[in-house]
């Protein structure tokens, strides 16, 4: 019968049901919701983007998220927490572990650049406290501030050589590793339980501030972001971007959820927890991210916002916006502090799967795994900082790892769930401990539609790109 082989009790367990939901939501809600989503939507059809976006959410995102929760717990009950273990136990062959390399590589690579942007957020929050970021309306002042903060331009490196930034990178790094070291319940879960409610409060304050600016401006700003450009729907890139955004945002297809859910027990409800965490993410993304970042930028900067890169939008355009609105210093602080919290709850979830791999795969103790991981992550970030010559490089890395590779991994996971574990087994496992049922057609979606849908977009995209 389902899950009865699970005599094994893992050393690590989540402390509470709400705790694990908040931890997964913490992973999902991040810079992707507030910076990446508005950028993607604006570049890919504005309001029309929501169509492929919600189709991807319903057809790919939520079903795959359930599949990941199910496979993760399935493997966790048998003593496996890292992707190689999960893949081997679900596929019943140790060879399957080779398929899981992406599930370790993707979070690790994303971590290496994500952490730097996390440090930017902390540094910007600090600059609001000190008042340094209230620079008036001239866009050049913000470009200069940014270049100065991240230590850019002199020799063409724009990513993080600023000496004061190194302090913030250091703080961010240490905080990440302290929390990881404390374990899933004692570190990640405890932190998320405080951070998420705090983020909601901060983001709602900023939203109210933005929406109570003069109403003609508000309407124009919302219109800029959301006016639909239906012709974008004919471009496969729009569909790739929409599903890429769904995966990035929900943290699906990264190897993160299979790891987090491997610390669950038979009593846990993976169906409801998965749905709740995903819904929280959508609230943050569409209602908060979608209504704040780009509309606010447009209100003050006009069409020039279209020329900003995703990160330029967050770090050059928005500070200018805050400087021009009443009480901007306070709201600017709230915003960047909120971004920092959102980022750290996400970056923790990029580390934990790799940490679990060192613990499972090499039998390392927690302190040894944390140390090894720390060295690898630090070295990687160092390369990102020193060798990315322009901000666009970041968008490029983000595209290849954050969109394309995730696709591949999502495809592998869908095939493993639908065809190797099998949807009958999967459906039974998912419902162990569940209070609500997943409609049966979702299993059929996972088996037939998801692989074909992913494959079709991917092929169309490759074909058009060559
Ligand atoms: N979901 C996060 C966001 O929207 O910012 C990003 C993310 C989290 C990416 C965890 C990768 C990951 F492993």
Residue 34's CB: how many other CB atoms inside 10 A?
Answer: 29
Q: Is the CB–ligand 1 distance for residue 27 below 6 Å?
A: yes
Q: Is the CB–ligand 1 distance for residue 281 below 6 Å?
A: no
Buried b (16+ CB within 10 A) or exposed e, 76-87: bbbbbbbbbbbb
Rg (CA), the chain: 21
CA 232 / ligand 1 centre spacing (Å): 26
Q: Using CA atoms, how far apart are residues 82 and 59, in angstroms rounded to an integer? A: 26
CA 217 / ligand 1 centre spacing (Å): 32
* Contacts for 200 with CB less than 8 Å, ≥ 6 apart: none
Q: In angstroms, what CA-CA distances link 253 with 28, 106, 434?
A: 12, 9, 23
Q: Using CA atoms, how far apart are residues 399 and 248, in angstroms rounded to an integer? A: 11
Q: Is the CB–ligand 1 distance for residue 76 below 6 Å?
A: no
Q: Using CA atoms, how far apart are residues 221 and 446, in angstroms rounded to an integer? A: 38
Q: Using CA atoms, how far apart are residues 69 and 299, in angstroms rounded to an integer? A: 41
At 162 the pLDDT is 58
**Which stretches of 94-173 are assigned E, i.e. beta strand?**
none
Asked if 120 and 315 touch (Cβ cutoff 8 Å), the reply is: yes
Q: Using CA atoms, how far apart are residues 108 and 86, in angstroms rounded to an integer? A: 18
At 382 the pLDDT is 83
Buried b (16+ CB within 10 A) or exposed e, 260-296: bbbbbbeebbbbebbbbbbebbbbbbbebbbbbbbbb
Asked if 435 and 269 touch (Cβ cutoff 8 Å), the reply is: yes
Architecture of domain 17-465: Orthogonal Bundle (1.10)
CA 358 / ligand 1 centre spacing (Å): 21
CA 27 / ligand 1 centre spacing (Å): 6
Q: Is the CB–ligand 1 distance for residue 30 below 6 Å?
A: yes
Residue 375's CB: how many other CB atoms inside 10 A?
Answer: 10
Token pair recorded at residue 262: 């491997």
Asked if 66 and 270 touch (Cβ cutoff 8 Å), the reply is: yes
Of the candidates 2, 9, 15, 23, the residue with the CA atom closest to the CA atom of residue 273: 23
State the 10-residue block means of pLDDT for the chain, 466 residues long. 53 90 96 90 87 96 97 95 94 92 90 90 95 88 84 51 78 96 96 97 94 88 85 88 91 92 95 96 92 86 76 86 91 97 97 94 91 94 72 70 82 95 97 96 96 87 71
Token pair recorded at residue 123: 């540094």
Asked if 373 and 358 touch (Cβ cutoff 8 Å), the reply is: yes
Which ligand 1 atom minimizes the distance to the CA of 30?
A: 5
At 347 the pLDDT is 97
Which ligand 1 atom minimizes the distance to the CA of 254?
A: 13
Which ligand 1 atom minimizes the distance to the CA of 37?
A: 4
CA 341 / ligand 1 centre spacing (Å): 13
Token pair recorded at residue 18: 């709400």
SS3 label, residue 335: helix
Which ligand 1 atom minimizes the distance to the CA of 248?
A: 1
DSSP assigned state of 283:
I
* Contacts for 138 with CB less than 8 Å, ≥ 6 apart: none
**pTM value > 0.80:** yes
Q: Is the CB–ligand 1 distance for residue 278 below 6 Å?
A: no
**Backbone angles phi and psi of 252, in degrees to 5:** -95, 140
Q: Using CA atoms, how far apart are residues 38 and 140, in angstroms rounded to an integer? A: 23
Alpha-carbon torsion 439, 445, 448, 451, what sign?
Answer: negative
At 228 the pLDDT is 86
Q: Is the CB–ligand 1 distance for residue 244 below 6 Å?
A: no
Pocket test of ligand 1: the residue of 32, 247, 257, 344 to mutate, having most ligand atoms within 8 Å of its CB, is 32
CA 317 / ligand 1 centre spacing (Å): 23
Q: Using CA atoms, how far apart are residues 40 and 268, in angstroms rounded to an integer? A: 35
Task: For the chain, give the number of residues.
Answer: 466
At 269 the pLDDT is 96
At 384 the pLDDT is 78
CA 6 / ligand 1 centre spacing (Å): 30
CA 373 / ligand 1 centre spacing (Å): 18
SS3 label, residue 175: helix
Q: Is the CB–ligand 1 distance for residue 248 below 6 Å?
A: yes
At 278 the pLDDT is 97
Q: Is the CB–ligand 1 distance for residue 84 below 6 Å?
A: no
At 391 the pLDDT is 59
- ipTM reported for the complex, 2 dp: 0.98
């Amino acid at each position: 019968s389902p899950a009865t082989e699970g005599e094994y009790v893992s050393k690590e367990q989540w402390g509470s049901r709400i705790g694990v939901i908040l931890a997964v939501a913490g992973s999902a809600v991040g810079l992707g919701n507030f910076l990446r989503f508005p950028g993607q939507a604006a570049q890919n059809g504005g309001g029309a983007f929501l169509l492929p976006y919600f189709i991807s959410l319903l057809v790919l995102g939520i079903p795959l998220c359930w599949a990941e929760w199910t496979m993760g717990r399935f493997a966790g009950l048998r003593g496996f927490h890292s992707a190689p273990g999960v893949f081997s136990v679900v596929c019943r062959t140790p060879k399957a572990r080779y398929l899981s390399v992406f599930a370790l590589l993707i979070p690790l690579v994303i971590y290496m650049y994500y952490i730097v942007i996390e440090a930017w957020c902390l540094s910007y929050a600090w600059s609001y406290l000190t008042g340094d970021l209230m620079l008036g309306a001239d866009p050049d002042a913000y470009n200069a501030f940014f270049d100065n903060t991240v230590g850019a331009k002199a020799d063409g490196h724009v990513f993080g050589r600023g000496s004061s930034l190194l302090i913030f990178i250091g703080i961010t790094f240490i905080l990440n590793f302290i929390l990881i070291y404390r374990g899933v319940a004692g570190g990640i879960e405890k932190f998320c339980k405080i951070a998420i409610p705090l983020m909601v409060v901060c983001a709602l304050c900023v939203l109210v501030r933005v929406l109570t600016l003069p109403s003609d401006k508000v309407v124009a700003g919302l219109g800029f972001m959301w006016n639909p450009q239906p012709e974008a729907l004919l471009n496969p890139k729009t569909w790739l971007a929409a599903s890429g955004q769904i995966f990035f945002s929900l943290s699906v297809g990264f190897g993160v959820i299979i790891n987090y859910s491997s610390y669950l027990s038979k009593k846990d409800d993976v169906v409801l927890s998965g749905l709740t965490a995903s819904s929280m993410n959508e609230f943050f993304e569409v209602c908060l991210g979608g209504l704040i970042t780009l509309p606010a930028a447009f209100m003050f900067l006009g069409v020039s916002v279209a020329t900003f890169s995703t990160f330029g939008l967050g770090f050059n355009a928005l500070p200018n916006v805050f400087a021009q609105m009443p009480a901007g210093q306070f709201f600017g602080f709230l915003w960047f502090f909120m971004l920092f919290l959102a980022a750290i709850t996400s970056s923790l979830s990029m580390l934990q799967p790799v940490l679990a791999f060192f613990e499972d795969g090499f039998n390392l103790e927690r302190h040894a795994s944390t140390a090894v991981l720390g060295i690898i992550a630090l070295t990687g970030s160092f390369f990102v900082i020193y060798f990315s010559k322009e901000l666009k490089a970041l968008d490029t890395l983000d595209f290849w790892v954050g969109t394309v590779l995730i696709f591949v991994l999502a495809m592998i996971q869908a095939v493993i769930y639908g065809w190797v574990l099998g949807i009958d087994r999967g459906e039974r496992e998912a419902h162990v401990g569940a209070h609500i049922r997943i409609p049966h057609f979702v299993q059929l979606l996972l088996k037939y539609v998801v692989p074909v849908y992913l494959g079709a977009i991917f092929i169309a995209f490759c074909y058009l790109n060559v």
